[in-house]
Each structure stands twice: as C-alpha cells, then as structure tokens.
Amino acid sequence: MDFRTVITATLITWLFVFSAQLRASPWMEVGDSQLRHHITVLADAGIITVPINTWPLMWSGVINDVKRGERRRNLTAGQQRSLSYVRNAFIQHTKPSRTSVSLSVSERPNQLRGFNSVPREEAELSLSYAAIHGGTAYKLQTTYTGDPADGENVRFDGSYAALLFGNWAAAAGAIDRWWGPSRQNALVLSNNARPVPGIFLQRNNSLPFESPLLSWLGPWNLVMFAGQLESDREISHAKLLGARMSFRPASWLELGGSRAAQWGGDGRPEDSSSFVDMVTGNDNNGDNGINSNNEPSNQIAGIDWRATASGNQISVEHYGELVGEDNAGVMPSRLIATFGLGAQMPIASNDVRVYLEFTDTLTRRFYKSGQINYAYEHGTYKSGYRYKDRNMAATIDNDSKSTSLGVEVFTETGATWQVVLSKLNFNSDGTNKATGVTPLAWRTGDGWQGKLNYLENWRDWSFSYGLYYQGGDFELRNMGKDTAGAEFSVTLGF
C-alpha cells in the first residue's frame, strides 16, 4: 500500500470539495515558543484546563478556557498579558482566511533544534494560504530552499486538508509534531526532522469522560497518525505509525503516553498478522516465532509528565519523559530519558522563565555502562528512527547527552529574548550503526553550545534573529568544530 498516493488523493479531494467554504487554522502549530509560554502560564494558573503537551495543540478547548478565564477576578498582570496574547493569536489564526510570506536566511544552519521554529537550510522562501469554515480547513504551503541538504528545493511541508466532525479532526498532510513537555529534546516525536506526510485523527476538544469510572482522568486528548517514509533508505517506503494520549487528572499535573512504530515497507510483511503483532508488541526477534523474515516493526514507546506548583506569582515545574526502545512483556525497557526543572516569575514588568533540562539517549546508562547503538537503531530497519537523515525525535540523536540551561524573557511590549547554554556529549562510543543516512556526529566528542534568539511581533510582521556558537572536540554534520552561525527570519501574515 502506497501511503503517499492515499495522502495525495485525500488532500486533493478535500481541497476541491471544501474550496468554497473558507477560513484559517483549527490548531496551533509547533515552533511558536511565545504562544507556548503564554499557554503554559494560563495552564499553571488553572485557567486553561486541557492538556497542553501535545503539539499541534487544538484551539477549541484552549479558547473556551480563555473566554472563561477573562471573567475571573484577581488575575496577575502576567496572567492578563497571557490571556490577551492567546486571545489575539486566536483571532489572527482563525480569520476567514490567512496568507503568509516568510523569508529565512542562515549562515551554517544549527543542527540542534529545540521547540523553536528555526531555518533548516541557508535560504528559505515560503508562501502559504490557510482557510477554515465550519467543519473544514486546509493550508497550502510551498517553500523554496537554496542548496538544500536533502536535494529537495521545493517542499510542501506544513500543508494539510482537514475535516472536523463531532469532536474529532481528521486530516491529511505533512505537519510538524512535538510530543511531551520538554523544550530541547522530545524523545518520541519532535520537529527535528522534516514532517512525514501522512493522515491523522485527533480529538478536537479535550472534554473529560462523562462516565464516573473514567471522569477522574480529567480533560484528555488522543491523536493517531499513519505516514510513509522516504524511498531512499534501507527499507524503502516504510510506514510510520503513532499514537499519543494525554490527560490532566489535576490542575497541577499532566500525564502522557506515546508510541510510534516503523512498519512494513519494501520487502517487509504488511498483512493483518504483522499489524496485530506490531500492536500487541510481539515484534522482538527470537521471541514467539519472530525472526528476521517476519519481524513486523521497530517500536519506541514511553510516558511523560509535568507537575507544577504555584504561589505568590511564581510557578515551578518538574517534567520528564521515559522512553523504551524495546518491550519487556507489555512494558517498554532499555530506557532513555529527559528530566527538567523550571520556574516562571515576574521580574520588573517582564515574565521570566528559567529551566534546566537533561537528556540521555544511551540506553541502560547506569546498567553495565550502557548499551551502545541501540536507541533509535534497529537490526532490520537499518536506517533507524530517522527521516531524510535526521532523527525524528531527540535532536542529539543516539548515545548522547545534553544538559541545557535556558532563560526566556517575555517583555511587556511583546518581544522575547531566549538564551540557552548546553553541555553536550555526542556518540559515546564513536561508531555509527545506521546505514543509508548521514550521522549527526561521526565520532565521539564533548563540548558546549550557546544560543541567543530575539523574537518580536509588529502588527502583521514577525521577526526572529538568532546567533549560536559551539566549541569542543565534537564535529556535527555540515558544521565542523568551533562553529558560529547566525539566522534571520521575517514573516508577513494577513
């Protein structure tokens, strides 16, 4: 089954059927760190009650909470500012239609990406048109890149067609995802790689269960998707399948569970039996009759959490993610992890967020000195958990560590300053198992990277400026040692 044919046919059909019913976007896209900050402020205050750690994040539940929050009394200046920011963003993104033009230039694009949307190539020019009306929505985005690393000058990343029915949104397209509460490395899905084209189904409004048996879960969200990977890999046209559920049983706690699998592809079984084996976790070579000929999939799964405490205008957070590269029965094993601590507080007339985030992608780090070349790798799907050379999850890729200190200042005028200092260790054993891809780091190395970003919105314009410098004995793909880089982006939306 060729998913690209299905995706293209679905997209074209929906565009023709719904082209006469126009408005803009039913969800918030990955990469807007300013909007994410203000959403988080309101969630920590108990104003936004829906889960907020699955991106794209649907507007429906968020804006209902914002409207109720605007009637609350005794709001702090920061909470009022966040309410205003989110409300204005909703108005901008749900106009009858929205056109945007974006230009990005970069001197040595940074290979380490966090949640922020930053240029992938040295030059990018994008034009998009989005519309929504009633139960239909679409976005057509075309990007032209200069001298791209993957050779694709024209891209349609960010395009989709969606149908809203009941409390669900079904869509086809290629959109970025970020699963989990982290800011620098998401361990199951992130925007590190280009988006995989596919189809997906997502809950529109995270309403709680009505059943007393399940109502304790609080507001909950569910998303499922199926996509197709590229042909230029060890197993051509392998499918990428994934699902995530998140819920908020209390205003101070959000929990999530994620699972993704590479399945099928040229020369691999794609029948119902192999699909059932994948879903039930019966996919380990050597177990229950599974061998290299019928091994159905390469899976990754895990849990994440974010817990907060607020008082006297200060909010503190602890978050984390534990992800397994294999199954011990029905539970993930051979874990990799992310842990974070953070605080948000007013200083002068500004909102300031500080966080410390640690990520380790060497499995069994504290057991027999770790298990090399296991995370994001596979004996059958030998290109690993990657798309067009990039890891689809952690930006540091496998067998690596990152400790990041981040400071974000959100001024009362709407501008944002971001500083991130990261201590890094790459490719701890100095080897590369994957075939058919260019590794992030050819050999082991230690060092650091510092990033400075400035973001500002003015009327219909958005500006982003970035600088970075990295030093140490590591050498990343297309960057070299002791490398500095700069980037600039401008977007006009109307």
Q: Given this model, what pLDDT does residue 328 score?
A: 56
Burial (Cβ within 10 Å: 0-12, 13-18, ≥19) of residue 133: middle
Instruction: Give me the mean pLDDT over the 451-460 stretch.
Output: 94
CB-based contact 353:342 (threshold 8 Å) = yes
Question: What is the C-alpha radius of gyration for the chain, rounded to an integer number of angstroms?
Answer: 22
**Nearest-angstrom CA–CA distance, 209 and 58:** 18
- Give the H or E element holding residue 196: none
pLDDT tens for 78-116 read 999 999 999 999 998 888 789 999 999 999 999 999 999
pLDDT tens for 343-378 read 999 999 899 999 999 999 999 876 667 788 889 999
What is the DSSP code (8-state) at residue 180?
S
pLDDT above 90 as % of the chain: 69
Q: Given this model, what pLDDT does residue 14 score?
A: 46
Instruction: Give me the mean pLDDT over the 424-443 stretch.
Output: 82
Write the CATH number of the domain with boundaries 3-493.
Answer: 2.40.160.130
Could you tell me the residue ranges of all domains in the chain? 3-493
**Nearest-angstrom CA–CA distance, 387 and 392:** 6
pLDDT tens for 164-209 read 999 999 999 999 999 999 999 999 999 999 999 999 999 999 999 9
CB-based contact 190:401 (threshold 8 Å) = no
Q: Given this model, what pLDDT does residue 476 score?
A: 86
**CA triple 302-304-308, angle to 5 deg:** 170
Burial (Cβ within 10 Å: 0-12, 13-18, ≥19) of residue 460: exposed
Residue with token string 């963003």: 89
pLDDT band at 64 (very low <50, low <70, confident <90, very high): very high
Q: Is the peptide bond before 56 cis (omega within 30 degrees of 0)?
A: yes
Mean pLDDT of the chain: 90
pLDDT band at 22 (very low <50, low <70, confident <90, very high): very low
pLDDT greater than 80 at residue 225: yes
Total residue length of the chain: 494
CB-based contact 82:458 (threshold 8 Å) = no
**Nearest-angstrom CA–CA distance, 329 and 262:** 19
Q: How many CB atoms lie within 10 A of CB 156?
A: 17
Q: Given this model, what pLDDT does residue 327 score?
A: 62
Integer angstrom CA distances of residue 277 from 238, 239, 374, 445: 16, 15, 21, 39
**Nearest-angstrom CA–CA distance, 494 and 484:** 34
Q: Given this model, what pLDDT does residue 421 score?
A: 98
Encoded tokens for 9: 């046919």
List residues bridging with 133 in a β-sheet: 136
Q: Given this model, what pLDDT does residue 331 score?
A: 66
Nearest to 286 by CA among 384, 383, 379, 382: 379
